[in-house]
Structure 1
Amino acid sequence: MGMAMWLRTGLLMALLTGLLMGIGYLFGGPNWAFMMFLFSLAFNFITYWYSDRIVLSWYNARIVDEHEAPELYAIVRDLAERAGLPTPRVAIVPTETPNAFATGRDPKHAVVAVTTGLLKLLNRDELEGVLGHELTHIKHRDMLIGTFAAAMAGAIIQLAYWARWMAIFDGFGDDRDGDNVIVAVMIAILAPIAAMLIQAAVSRSREFLADEGGAKISGKPQALASALMKIEGAVRYRPLQEGNPATAHMFIINPFRGVSIANLFSTHPPTEARIEHLRKIAEEMGIYF
């Protein structure tokens, strides 16, 4: 892992620890803050070593081998060779909502996941463009920091839910009920906003870079542009109903549109802007569409 990625990942870990300790202090003073510190240490350790298993479990994704999905596996292997990467594991997510994501702590432990809906919707060229996009995320080591951001956002949102229920039931049950109700309400309101800001901070520019990499690895920028349009339209019609909204930024297109609080902050650049960017890349490659 490069120095820049270590710094980004370390910053997210420190931010998670600070946020959880701050929320813990508001909940119950120094003792709760210390408990949150210990929790964050365990949370960071587990997220680092088991990020792929965590994300795949959220979507009931199943690792498949070459015998189960020969065409898909062949595409991934070919694109990985072109990108100079070890062939990642391949997983299929059982949902009709078309989409894809990559996860894992580094290229040697990476997983590329696609939904059954994506395999039905896209032709081979479009699928190559999408998989090239995900392999670029792996090459740039975006997956780990994306998983940390997702886990952090999910943890903070869960705390906000607890705070909301505590506010409904008049605080935390001591002689400072009035103050605690105010604190609980503040946490319930501000924590999800903080979580979404963390997601946005993962940097939407990474999607432009992944699109560019996907176009160049596959050699088919027009096919990737077509895939983005198809996925965008399908998600509008059939957004993902199950899963963890805190992972929205990990997908090639936000699958929760119209469904989750994640829409308060955009996790992806506008699809139109991404297609225009791909058009310029295509022109540089001598391809016009």
Structure 2
Amino acid sequence: MGYAKTAMLMAAMTALFMGVGYLLGGSGGALIALIFAGAMNAWSWWNSDKMVLRMYNAQPLTAGDRTGLHAMTGELARRAGLPVPQVYLIEQAQPNAFATGRNPQNAAVAVTTGLLQRLSQEEVAGVIAHELAHIKNHDTALMTVTATFAGAISMLANFAMYFSGSRERIGVLGTLMMMIFAPMAAMLIQMAISRSREYEADRIGAEICGNPIWLADALEGLARSAARIDNMTAERNPSTAHMFIINPLHGQRMDNLFATHPATENRVAALRRMARGGVAMPDPRRPERKQSDTGPWG
């Protein structure tokens, strides 16, 4: 159901984009808008991961790092049948994590120092498994495309007053309404896609780590801490909020149209129902790691 809903929402985003292009310049405008979006998506496809990692000053971790995070990620990636992604650490007190990259072969997982300090080993494994599920589902590429579409729609709508074609087709009032409501509709579709993918990543992440309760407990802990601790980089760049496992911004706690993430209570309830039904895993072992007296679980 998650994939069908995502496909329908992507179709709606594409139709909205083409509609705005048509209102601006007829069939020629729709074609130009499509070419413009394609160029923007191509650029984002190759560069968005590097941009966001630089934005958060993420530092790469190598095999044998003292936290054991790289070894844990490698074990979970093998369970998921994925190449081992690059692993990054962000010096940030708010506990959170995200995945990025255009495909599983060029993916990265980034976690904050606050996450390692506040969660147990099992809870960290649940979080990493959730991010690997996003990579496995190609959600990182999907969200890059939807964010680019939403930005392109907003840009086109803001140019509407300069196109005589739009005023001839829908009038000045209609043009003004398009400038207001087209970006809002694009934002709502983007958020709906993000919420749908979070539920799916929770489900598959629970299967990867082998225990839905690990992820459920992690989400509860993350939500409590994120509500109290600011992430100023995310506050300055709210367009990246949908990437994180928990919304890093303050003031969005309801599972509504304007939320970037589903309500944590709903996600936790779904995971606990999944736990009651049982999760079959071919390899029930915990993620392998190197012990360290100085690591967060030493």
Q: What is the TM-score with the length of structure 2 in the denominator?
A: 0.73
- Give the aligned partner of residue 108 of structure 2: 111
Partners of 1:188 and 1:240 in 2: CA distance:
29
Matched, 1:249 2:246: no
Of 187, 194, 208, which aligns to 2:199? 208
The residue matched to 2:95 in structure 1 has which SS?
Answer: coil
The residue matched to 2:233 in structure 1 has which SS?
Answer: coil
Matched, 1:36 2:33: yes
Partners of 1:203 and 1:218 in 2: CA distance:
21
Offset of residue 241 of structure 1: 3.7
Partners of 1:97 and 1:157 in 2: CA distance:
31
Partners of 2:13 and 2:103 in 1: CA distance:
21
- Give the aligned partner of residue 221 of structure 1: 212
Offset of residue 88 of structure 1: 0.6
Matched, 1:183 2:180: no
Partners of 1:25 and 1:138 in 2: CA distance:
34
Of 69, 74, 98, which aligns to 2:71? 74
Structure 1 18/278 Cα, relative in aligned 2: closer, same or farther at 3 Å?
A: closer
The residue matched to 1:242 in structure 2 has which SS?
Answer: helix
Identity %: 42
Give unpaired runs (5+ residues) of structure 1: none
Of 269, 275, 293, which aligns to 1:276? 269
- Give the aligned partner of residue 230 of structure 1: 221
Structure 1 283/263 Cα, relative in aligned 2: closer, same or farther at 3 Å?
A: closer
Structure 1 242/180 Cα, relative in aligned 2: closer, same or farther at 3 Å?
A: farther
Structure 1 28/284 Cα, relative in aligned 2: closer, same or farther at 3 Å?
A: closer
CA RMSD, Structure 1 to Structure 2 (Å): 3.7
Structure 1 196/124 Cα, relative in aligned 2: closer, same or farther at 3 Å?
A: same
Partners of 2:37 and 2:97 in 1: CA distance:
29
Offset of residue 232 of structure 1: 0.9
Number of residue pairs matched? 270
Of 45, 51, 56, which aligns to 2:53? 56
Matched, 1:198 2:190: yes
- Give the aligned partner of residue 148 of structure 1: 145
Deviates more, 1:119-128 or 1:151-160: 151-160
Give unpaired runs (5+ residues) of structure 2: 280-298
Offset of residue 69 of structure 1: 5.6
Partners of 2:180 and 2:233 in 1: CA distance:
22
**Higher RCO (CA < 8 A, seq sep 6+):** 2
Partners of 1:80 and 1:68 in 2: CA distance:
17
Q: Is the 8 A contact 1:86 1:107 kept in 2?
A: yes
Structure 1 247/222 Cα, relative in aligned 2: closer, same or farther at 3 Å?
A: same
Q: What is the TM-score with the length of structure 1 in the denominator?
A: 0.75
Structure 1 152/67 Cα, relative in aligned 2: closer, same or farther at 3 Å?
A: farther
Structure 1 60/89 Cα, relative in aligned 2: closer, same or farther at 3 Å?
A: same
